[in-house]
Structure 1
């Protein structure tokens, strides 16, 4: 997940503070979703054993569906970053998403 452990005194509003028996013992700072997208893309590349741009169209479509399910496209420039990693245009990513969401695809 890529979180960072911190002393509770260093916690910010978005950090998760963990308590044990009523005492704050640890804070966890989660990475921003934008950082997570890079991690997800790197993990997918490692999983497939090749750059994502070298995959076939069907596999790229599956990856786009997976990224959509994980909320990757809610991140600013998420579509652009995914398109770049996949070696396709933004338009192609949107086409994959539209194909996934069309009534005749379910």
Structure 2
């Protein structure tokens, strides 16, 4: 069997301070299942063998709900699966914005160093890229980072 990746968010979100119990419990359930886990301010990303990940999903959901979550949102995909960027064709709005930023910075987003990636996110944000549906995930994929990293770059302004 192959690998799978999943991202899940549990609500309600909390502002500053420690993460809510429902988010911590969901992360713990994923770790207990042996999944590779990345815990972020807006959700959790996990990866692992297909059977292990699929078998762990009920425990993750139960842990979040038992911890007080009122909603759990889940996305599962195979690693490297394409993320739709607003039509999927090279002429889409987001693709155009990305190409402009790459031209301005002189290289592809994936080849930028950390400071360059932060600058690219700022430029895309200034152009309204993150108002587009699924844009954070699409930009994260092109940068070679997680969507949580993109959110962190956005929060650093």
TM-score (norm 2): 0.40
Larger radius of gyration: 1
User: Whose helix proportion is higher, 1 or 2?
Assistant: 1
Q: Post-superposition, which runs of at least 4 consecutive aligned residues in structure 1 deviate over 3 A?
A: 46-49
Superimposed CA distance per residue, residues 53-76 of structure 1 (whole angstroms, 9 cap, x where no aligned partner): 110111111111111111111111
Q: Equivalent residue for 2:135? A: 78
TM-score w.r.t. length of structure 1 = 0.57
Greater length-normalized contact order (CA 8 Å, ≥ 6 residues apart):
2
Q: Does structure 1 residue 98 correspond to structure 2 residue 155? A: yes
What is the correspondence of 1:1-106 to structure 2 with a 5 Å cutoff?
34=86, 35-100=92-157
| Structure 2: runs of 5 or more not aligned | 1-84, 87-91
For residue 97 of structure 1, report the CA deviation from its aligned partner.
0.7
User: Root-mean-square deviation (CA), in Å?
Assistant: 1.8
The count of residues paired between Structure 1 and Structure 2 equals: 68
